[in-house]
């Protein structure tokens, strides 16, 4: 993930289902000492497996136990009727630790240092996963189909070993085991003996410096294990290759492919038939004993596969997200033997290097600036569809279009949701663990042995087959901080080619090259630590030029509500008093262990904090201005003739646990300055101020051009005294990310105080306000020491003087709110805020928070706007939508506070 150094060690991870645990609610973890808890015998979950040919039934869950506490033989453990005394029940996707947390073994791992208290020794031995399933009809063939085992496993069915750890290893490898001869009518048992995980030694999943790693290193089973049923001929690898006519979008050609596999000792004649929408096709396929053949249908032999006026898939904001469905079946002697279904989208992705060597993406012939964030799953890899869906909706609310998954490649449902909402995804292998052991010598990953190469290739083949049909997936990054060597790259590319991979392959997220693919066209120059807002405008280092695959200004201190939820009173006291203190909730990396750089900047620019509340309000102000500047700079420079910006991934979108850095939203989905700064910068039609040349620029992120706009900039001293005012009329701006410079603020304005405010307002041809943006600025700029730039930041030698904000008069803001509840369980609250002050002073960054009767934030919540600044007499009406269930039975209330606004709470019934 970053321009990493040896100090940054990545610690391992995987994926989990925890149906009983809602990721959005406060987790009532029970205190516990682990294995000392005594339980009655737990029956393994029993899954009824369908008998229909072509069916795939996911095991419903497991009971698990440490092998150190199981003395029985594998044959006994994996036999039906085994008395699972003292075993722990868990869901169908669960790491070991996720299961123990759900069972109440440990205190809330997201609070204080509770995670540190979980003994790692409990996970240094294999763990058993055991599940029962029933089969009524044994006349059909049966297969055990799975991936997502971390790190490796011996597999047993009904007392017999069907695979060894040498066969089942690697988090991403896909396995299909024919268990027909072992399955019997009635109850059957499958058992996995899962090996401990070490991401420095194994091609699995790991963490580096995002968060404190889980002590079990995410060992477990993190994707569904399926029992497939079928007849004499199996149908596998069904997919559609699309070719869209660009730029007309008037037609598309579809090529349907699948493998037909004869499972018998005799020659058979199979009929493969299928449909895509109204197009139907069929072919007779002769198959020798145990022969596999690829069956292909093209427009040449199936004219219906040439689509006129196809329904084209677009990213959100650029068009709709229609999907097509492929249905295939294979029959023998008139009896269906197997079937397959695959959803897919029609779109074209291109990503050539521009003349500056930067990768420039286009979708369906339209160029776009990639604006996104780094995605993190839950630390314990628990799958919660609602929680994931809420975060993806936040992506769109923020005006972003992409998430990057560096490793931790999520389950199928994640990509289904990304397809549905039009969120682009950039999956790829991770940095600094075994994945880069051969090419990134400064990190902890061990060099590969001969046994690793086939695992890596199989991982690539499996993920390519799984992801290729999702239109949201626009590339695969086969390297992160380092590009693969020639042998590894060839294996990856061969696997991708065999899978008909349809989108650009990028050799690395950093500025690296590989022998075949060439230059990455991306940069990984940071920063990852605090820098001032003007940093982003320099076309160097992490500034707004090219494609920056991971970058941000370091710490993102969450709201006071979240801080009190995640830290003890003593830790909160240290947080604002001691910049040099190690912060457990920041990072395990020594580079990012403290908040010293950030805190020094906060005090140097805004003044030393006087308490926790003051520290947090200054943090929100600082994070708003910095995140806004990052996205505004990249947005402004996207259409530059020289060295344009082509992509930016904020590091990171979210955190897998309760964190003090790298997040636009916190673990509980609360939103602070970083969130609303990004939302402001990425609004569809946007007026912004440039820190480098003082230009006032209009950026149009919509497809349609805008004309007849009026841009106004007004400068104020912090007491509200107006010192400068200028208006530009008849401003026109093209669409698709184009910009227009409306005017430029002079370098010197008479009478400005050292700290001053700039209010930008954009109105349309009818005089309606369409964008408002308020900046707090200084006549003394932040000064960067570019010569001392390190891999993670550029030092600041002198700070802008924003201390004058501390002298702003307190301004009353009145609030009134009302709520409408829809039939779908979603409520909308309208909040009207008004600056009722009698002087000239504005209310700066006034925040509205929806809370319940106990004052707890109601989350997730989507605001039309927030953290607004109002001058005396001005008012604005905000709307917020949310699930009524998240009110926990109470009436909604709105809590209003701001930089210089006293806190008040009003009813919103």
Catalytic residue numbers? 481, 550
Q: How far, in Å, CA of 830 to CA of 906, rounded?
A: 12
Q: How far, in Å, CA of 217 to CA of 150, rounded?
A: 9
Q: Please say whether the beta carbons of 154 and 74 come within 8 A.
A: yes
Edge-to-edge strands, sheet with 424-428: 505-506, 476-477, 424-428, 402-406, 370-374, 645-650, 546-551
DSSP string, 54-104: T-EEE---EEEEEGGG--S-HHHHTSTT---BT-EEE-SSEEHHHHHHHTT
CA 278 to mean position of chain CA atoms: 36
Query: Bridge-partner residues for 135, per DSSP?
Result: 186
**In the block, residue with structure tokens 């395990």:** 588
b/e sequence 768-802, b meaning 16+ C-beta within 10 Å: eebbbbbbbbbeeebebeeeebebbbbebeebbbb
Q: 34: which DSSP letter?
A: S
Q: Please say whether the beta carbons of 509 and 524 come within 8 A.
A: yes
Q: How far, in Å, CA of 93 to CA of 413, rounded?
A: 13
Cis bond upstream, residue 513 (ω within 30)? no
Q: How far, in Å, CA of 234 to CA of 228, rounded?
A: 10
Nearest-CA neighbor of 690 among 624, 762, 773, 799? Answer: 773
The pairing of beta strand 402-406 with beta strand 424-428: parallel
Q: How far, in Å, CA of 18 to CA of 99, rounded?
A: 8
Q: How far, in Å, CA of 817 to CA of 831, rounded?
A: 4
Nearest-CA neighbor of 681 among 617, 745, 636? Answer: 636
Q: Please say whether the beta carbons of 769 and 761 come within 8 A.
A: yes
**CB atoms inside a 10 Å sphere around CB 697:** 23
User: Cα-flanking dihedrals φ and ψ of residue 676, to 5°?
Assistant: -75, -25
Q: Please say whether the beta carbons of 709 and 765 come within 8 A.
A: yes
Nearest-CA neighbor of 681 among 859, 831, 867, 497? Answer: 867
Q: How far, in Å, CA of 17 to CA of 388, rounded?
A: 12
Q: Please say whether the beta carbons of 894 and 861 come within 8 A.
A: no
Q: In sequence order, what are the residues at sequence separation of 6 or more whose Cβ sits closer than 8 angstroms to the Cβ of residue 565?
A: 26, 111, 658, 668
**In the block, residue with structure tokens 């919103």:** 908
Query: Bridge-partner residues for 830, per DSSP?
Result: 818, 879
Output the six-digit token pair for 232. Answer: 């004499």
Q: In sequence order, what are the residues at sequence separation of 6 or more whose Cβ sits closer than 8 angstroms to the Cβ of residue 255?
A: 240, 241, 242, 243, 296, 297, 298, 299, 305
Q: HSE on the CB side for 299, CA within 13 Å?
A: 11
Q: How many residues does the chain have?
A: 909
Angle ∠(345,349,352) on CA atoms, nearest 5: 170
189 to 62, 75, 79, 142, 463: CA distances (angstroms): 10, 10, 6, 13, 28
Output the six-digit token pair for 540. Answer: 């160097």
**In the block, residue with structure tokens 């060295």:** 643
């Amino acid at each position: 993930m970053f321009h990493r150094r040896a100090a940054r060690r990545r610690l391992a991870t995987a994926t989990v289902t925890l149906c009983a645990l809602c990721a959005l609610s406060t987790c009532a973890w029970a205190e516990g000492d682990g294995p000392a808890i005594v339980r009655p015998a737990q029956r393994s979950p029993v899954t009824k497996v369908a008998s229909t040919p072509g069916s795939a039934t996911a095991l419903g869950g497991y009971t698990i136990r440490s092998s150190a506490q199981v003395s029985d033989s594998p044959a006994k453990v994996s036999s039906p009727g085994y008395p699972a005394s003292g075993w722990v029940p868990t869901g169908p996707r669960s790491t070991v630790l996720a299961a123990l947390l759900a069972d109440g073994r440990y205190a809330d791992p997201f609070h204080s240092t509770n995670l540190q208290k979980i003994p790692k020794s409990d996970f240094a031995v294999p763990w058993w996963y055991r599940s029962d399933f029933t089969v009524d009809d044994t006349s059909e063939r049966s297969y055990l189909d799975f991936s997502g085992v971390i790190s490796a496993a011996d597999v047993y069915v009904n007392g017999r070993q069907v695979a060894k750890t040498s066969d089942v290893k690697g988090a991403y490898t896909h396995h299909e085991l024919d268990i027909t001869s072992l399955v019997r009518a009635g109850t059957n048992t499958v058992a996995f003996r899962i090996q401990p995980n070490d991401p420095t030694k194994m091609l699995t999943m790991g963490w580096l410096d995002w968060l404190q790693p889980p002590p079990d290193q995410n060992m477990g089973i993190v994707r569904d294990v399926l029992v497939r049923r079928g007849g004499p001929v199996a149908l596998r690898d069904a997919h559609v290759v699309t070719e869209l006519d660009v730029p007309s979008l008037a037609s598309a050609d579809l090529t349907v492919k699948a493998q037909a596999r004869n499972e018998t000792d005799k020659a058979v004649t199979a009929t493969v038939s299928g449909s895509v929408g109204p197009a139907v096709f069929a072919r007779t396929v002769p198959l020798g004993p145990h022969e596999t053949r690829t069956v292909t249908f093209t427009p040449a032999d199936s004219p219906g596969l040439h689509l006129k006026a196809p329904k084209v898939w677009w990213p959100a904001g650029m068009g709709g997200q229609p999907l097509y469905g492929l249905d295939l079946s294979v029959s023998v002697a008139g009896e269906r033997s197997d079937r397959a279904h695959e959803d897919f989208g029609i779109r074209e992705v291109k990503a050539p290097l521009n003349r500056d060597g930067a990768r420039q993406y286009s979708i369906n012939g339209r160029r776009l600036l990639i604006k996104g964030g780094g995605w993190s799953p839950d630390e314990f890899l628990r799958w919660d569809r609602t929680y994931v869906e809420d975060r993806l909706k936040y992506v769109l609310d923020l005006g972003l279009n992409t998430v990057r998954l560096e490793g931790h490649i999520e389950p199928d449902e994640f990509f289904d949701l990304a397809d549905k909402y039009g969120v682009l995804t950039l999956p790829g292998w991770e940095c600094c663990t075994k994945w880069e052991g051969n090419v990134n010598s400064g990190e902890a990953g061990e060099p590969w042995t001969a046994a690793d190469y086939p695992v890596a290739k199989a991982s690539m083949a499996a993920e390519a087959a799984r992801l290729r049909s999702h239109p949201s997936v626009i590339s695969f990054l086969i390297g992160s901080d380092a590009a693969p060597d020639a042998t590894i790259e060839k294996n990856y590319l061969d696997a991708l080619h065999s899978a008909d991979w349809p989108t650009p392959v990028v050799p690395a997220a950093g500025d690296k090259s590989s022998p075949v693919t060439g230059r990455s066209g991306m940069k990984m120059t940071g920063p990852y630590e605090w820098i001032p807002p003007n940093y982003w405008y320099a076309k160097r280092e992490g500034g707004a030029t090219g494609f920056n695959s991971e970058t941000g200004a370091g710490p993102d201190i969450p709201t006071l509500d979240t801080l009190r939820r995640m830290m003890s009173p003593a830790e909160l006291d240290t947080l604002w008093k001691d910049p040099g203190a190690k912060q457990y909730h920041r990072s395990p990396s020594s580079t990012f262990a403290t908040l010293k750089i950030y805190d020094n900047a906060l005090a140097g620019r805004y003044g030393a904090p006087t308490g926790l509340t003051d520290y947090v309000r200054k943090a929100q102000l600082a994070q708003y201005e910095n995140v806004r500047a990052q996205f505004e700079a990249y947005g402004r420079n996207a259409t530059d003739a020289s060295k344009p910006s082509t992509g930016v991934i904020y590091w990171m979108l979210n955190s897998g646990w309760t964190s003090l850095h790298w997040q636009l939203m916190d673990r509980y989905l609360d939103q602070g300055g970083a969130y609303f700064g990004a939302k402001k910068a990425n609004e569809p039609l946007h007026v912004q101020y440039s820190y480098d040349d003082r230009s006032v620029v209009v950026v149009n992120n919509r497809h349609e051009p805008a004309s007849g706009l009026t841009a106004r900039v007004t400068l104020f001293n912090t007491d509200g005294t107006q010192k400068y005012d200028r208006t530009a009329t008849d401003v026109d701006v093209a669409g698709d990310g184009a910009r227009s410079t409306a005017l430029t603020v002079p370098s010197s304005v008479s009478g400005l105080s050292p700290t001053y405010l700039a209010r930008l307002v954009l109105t349309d041809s009818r005089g309606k306000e369409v964008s408002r943006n308020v900046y707090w600025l200084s006549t003394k700029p932040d000064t960067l020491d570019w010569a001392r730039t390190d891999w993670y930041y550029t030092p600041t030698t002198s700070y802008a003087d924003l201390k004058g904000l501390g002298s702003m008069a307190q301004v009353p803001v009145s609030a009134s709110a009302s709520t409408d509840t829809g039939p779908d369980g979603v409520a909308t609250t309208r909040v009207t805020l008004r600056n009722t002050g009698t002087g000239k002073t504005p209310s700066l960054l006034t925040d509205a928070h929806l809370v319940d009767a106990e004052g707890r934030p109601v989350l997730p919540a989507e605001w039309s706007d927030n953290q607004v600044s109002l001058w005396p007499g001005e008012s604005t009406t905000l709307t917020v939508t949310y699930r009524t269930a998240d009110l926990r039975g109470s009436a909604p209330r709105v809590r209003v506070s701001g930089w210089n606004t006293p806190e008040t709470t009003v009813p919103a019934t």
